[in-house]
Amino acid sequence: MNRWIILFFSLIMTGAFAHGQKTHSLGDEAHSIRDSGKTYHESISVIRKMHPEFLNHKRDKTLREGVRTEEYSLKGCVTCHATKKDNSNDYHSVNSEGQFCSTCHKKVATSMDCFSCHRTTPAQGAK
């Protein structure tokens, strides 16, 4: 019986992280990097699986120890994965319906409490 339960949950989690279909916007800067043939992250699968741990570790280092770096910064994620609105310099919020963050978080039924304090669009003057 335990084997069936483990198998069931494994299949559910595998489906949650499958990205076979393009159902969300990758973001303007991220598209540009990908289209140029360059890579930004060491491994997309690692980022997909570990981003909560990276962000929590970054939060702890920043808030508790005062260490501020660009690596795994939420500001960097938003700047790269935000998408501009049609014919505008304004951006869609990354947590809006159909945007980069909201699509995956909706699939796995998790909330994005980061954005209760942090910006959901790049700051003025960002790429």
Reference 19, options 103, 79, 112; nearest CA is: 103
Domain residues of the chain, as ranges? Answer: 24-116
Per the prediction, the chain carries an average pLDDT of: 79
Is the confidence at residue 27, as pLDDT, over 60? Answer: yes
Question: Has residue 14 got a pLDDT over 60?
Answer: no
pTM, full prediction: 0.66
Other C-beta atoms lying within 10 Å of the C-beta of residue 80: 22
Cα 59 to Cα 104: distance, rounded to the nearest angstrom: 21
Model pLDDT for residues 40-99, shown as the tens digit of each residue? 887 888 888 888 888 888 888 888 888 888 777 788 888 888 988 887 888 988 888 888
| Type and span of the H or E element at 30 | helix 28-35
Asked if pLDDT for residue 115 goes beyond 80, the answer is: yes
Across 12-16, 73-77, 109-113, least confident range: 12-16
Q: Has residue 36 got a pLDDT over 60?
A: yes
